[in-house]
Amino acid sequence: MPLFKCEKCGVIENTALTLCSWSAGKKLCSECCPKQKKWHNRFEKTYQMPKGEKDIFKDHETES
């Protein structure tokens, strides 16, 4: 599951459920995304990455 941490509120989000996974240089969840402004409710909000999962943007930045 491609997850990342929202740069505005810190919630963990899935790239497939937000229109702003990289909007104006920021990674935003569906609720912080100006195009959506609402949490998708596909899973509960959490502020910690699930065990075994990694932030795909953070990992990519580290590799470069």
CA nearest to 45, candidates 16, 5, 15: 5
Which residues have CB under 8 Å from 33's CB, separation 6+? Answer: 18, 19, 20, 23
> What's the pLDDT at 54?
87
Quick: pLDDT tens for 31-58.
999 999 999 999 999 999 888 888 888 7
Structural domain spans, the chain? 1-36
Query: Is 60's pLDDT higher than 80?
Result: no
Looking at residues 1-29, what average pLDDT do you find?
89
CA nearest to 61, candidates 18, 9, 12, 25: 25
> What's the pLDDT at 45?
95
